[in-house]
Structure 1
Amino acid sequence: MTRRFIAVDWGTTNRRAYVIEDGVVTHTDRDATGILSVPAGGFAAEAAALRERMGGGPMLLAGMVGSNRGWIDAGYVPCPATLETLAAAVARPAPGIAIVPGVKTLEQGRADVMRGEEVQLLGATATGMAPADGLLCQPGTHCKWARMAGGAIDGFATAMTGELFALLRDHALIGAAMTGGVADGTAFRDGVARSAEGDLAAALFGVRPASLLGLRDDADAASYVSGLLIGADCRAQALPGEQVHLLADPTLGALYAAALRTIGAVPVTLDSHDAFVAGIVRLEELIA
């Protein structure tokens, strides 16, 4: 008998759905119906409409849909987290629908949480895309750095790298100079190199006098700031010579790979969508 289900990576601003049959994706759909666009009490109807559009069947949801701002709060499992501990703690808001919990960590008074990324991380290690022991990075608005041990999420840290860039560009004094796009080039690499000095706040303000005094073209300012932030992020988590597996889209993944190489680490780029599918298939097998 064919094993068929609908997997949904349901985030804050968008969602991606997959029809998976016998472990193989046969159809995908993406839209802008993130959790923030669903009215209070509207998740059951929204899930039902998506299920009908995808041809029916059981659904396994991951991501912010299981947060305290989503359909229901699916909670968090502690580190070390595995596919088995996630499967044992799924929430069931409606018949035929399950939601994957997030993961939490508390080390020396420092707390952190993730929701959605855990499926990619564990999918990557479970299928051999990434090693069972090592450092994985998921660049984004809130960049995740996860230490894997024995195939489990042993600990992790979240950096607000992408969000800080957006705040600086849109609301800070230096934002007036950040008129260009971001690309890997001289300005970006200069920012990564400057991040080694450890005074990020001062380095960021330096964008302002560089613009006023004509020391840097404003078209390069955004790339420089991105290099500062990503460089500082990478230096805080990765060691020279260390291999880092990146689960990212090609554009952002290329920037992190360039920064990691600059600090002496060894980046390995993986397909984040393949990792999600691998993880969600294993979870469906465990809870079926």
Structure 2
Amino acid sequence: MVGRTAYIAVDWGTTNRRAYAMTADGAVVDTLQDGRGVLALSPGDYPEAIATLRERFGAQTIVVAGMVGSTRGWREAPYIDAPATLQALGAAALDVAPDVRIIPGVALRSGPRPDVMRGEEVQVLGAISTGAAPPTALFCQPGTHNKWIETVDGAITDFATVMTGELFALVRAHGILAGMLDGAVADGAAFRDGLKRGREARNLAAALFEVRAGVLLDRLAPADAAAYASGVMIGTDVGTRTDLGDRPVHLLGGGALAALYTVAITEAGGRVVTVPDGATTAGIHAIWSLRA
């Protein structure tokens, strides 16, 4: 199996690392996933980590995407400006060590607001490269920082980062709602009630305080408070989109959070198309295939 490996693709995130032994035609023949994300490593740790990957997978060339190329990672791979294509990402990849290239992220430098992404661009453009999504599309990638990403003719043209997941974790652990949000977060009546409130809310901070008031005044069951609060925050996020009825939303990722966003988008009048697994490796492979 290792003998078929042409190169190693790595999705190196903040907390997790996913490495893939790749064939020349883009097939995954071996994988490794662990908790050695950038927060677990110092810049001096990366040469040893790279050597270990080569020992495991038996290939010399390594192509890396994700937060490893951020200011908190190994070395910064400077952002390229939107509109961004796979070809532009490949051309701007940073040679950080012999036969190790880091794919840069994408930035919005001009216009009404700044924004950056690092890692999501490979997944989006990888999905397009395989035909899992059309060249012109709207994507949603739920996570700690949810991303809404727009593409036109195979280029990332605009995106918005929403700190929904991080804010929920903060209010759950700190402040006046701490201790009230220990219940399960799952789809159900409380979550959908929260979605509706979030979509209508003009003031997220006020809508969140209503969680406390609702519990104290017996209008919200304590066991439902976490699901309701999650619904409020996700509903507010999804409610910012005024174009959900115009085109499908291509959802990247899986798991419980993606399922909640599927409900939220559908309840808001949108239609979700789930992108199959493999978009990240497809994007890295497309960039590897552009090598000189």
TM-score, with length taken from structure 2: 0.94
Match of 2:237 in 1: 233
Match of 2:256 in 1: 251
Secondary structure of the residue aligned to 1:177 is coil
Partners of 2:220 and 2:57 in 1: CA distance: 51
Gaps spanning 5+ residues in structure 2: where? none
Secondary structure of the residue aligned to 1:156 is strand
In the TM superposition, what is the alpha-carbon distance from 1:39 to its structure 2 partner? Answer: 2.5
**Are 2:175 and 1:182 aligned?**
no
Partners of 1:89 and 1:248 in 2: CA distance: 26
Partners of 1:143 and 1:263 in 2: CA distance: 17
Partners of 1:270 and 1:228 in 2: CA distance: 25
Which amino acid in structure 2 is aligned with residue 266 of structure 1? Answer: R
Range with greater deviation from structure 2 (217-226 or 182-191): 217-226
Partners of 1:179 and 1:2 in 2: CA distance: 48
Secondary structure of the residue aligned to 2:42 is coil
CA RMSD of aligned residues (A): 1.5
Secondary structure of the residue aligned to 1:188 is helix
Gaps spanning 5+ residues in structure 1: where? none
Secondary structure of the residue aligned to 2:109 is strand
- Residue 3 and residue 238 in structure 1: after superposition, are their counterparts in 2 closer, same or farther (change >3 A)? farther
Match of 2:215 in 1: 211
- Residue 3 and residue 284 in structure 1: after superposition, are their counterparts in 2 closer, same or farther (change >3 A)? farther
Which amino acid in structure 2 is aligned with residue 18 of structure 1? Answer: Y
In the TM superposition, what is the alpha-carbon distance from 1:256 to its structure 2 partner? Answer: 0.5
Residues 177 and 218 in structure 1, CA contact (< 8 A), matched pair in contact too:
yes
Secondary structure of the residue aligned to 1:33 is coil
Match of 1:25 in 2: 28
In the TM superposition, what is the alpha-carbon distance from 1:132 to its structure 2 partner? Answer: 1.0
**Are 2:115 and 1:100 aligned?**
no
Match of 2:17 in 1: 15
Secondary structure of the residue aligned to 1:279 is helix
Match of 1:221 in 2: 225
In the TM superposition, what is the alpha-carbon distance from 1:52 to its structure 2 partner? Answer: 1.3
Higher strand share: 1
Residues 194 and 229 in structure 2, CA contact (< 8 A), matched pair in contact too:
yes
TM-score, with length taken from structure 1: 0.96
Identity, % of aligned pairs?
50
Residues 43 and 75 in structure 2, CA contact (< 8 A), matched pair in contact too:
no
**Are 2:267 and 1:275 aligned?**
no
Residues 102 and 118 in structure 1, CA contact (< 8 A), matched pair in contact too:
yes
- Residue 38 and residue 162 in structure 1: after superposition, are their counterparts in 2 closer, same or farther (change >3 A)? same
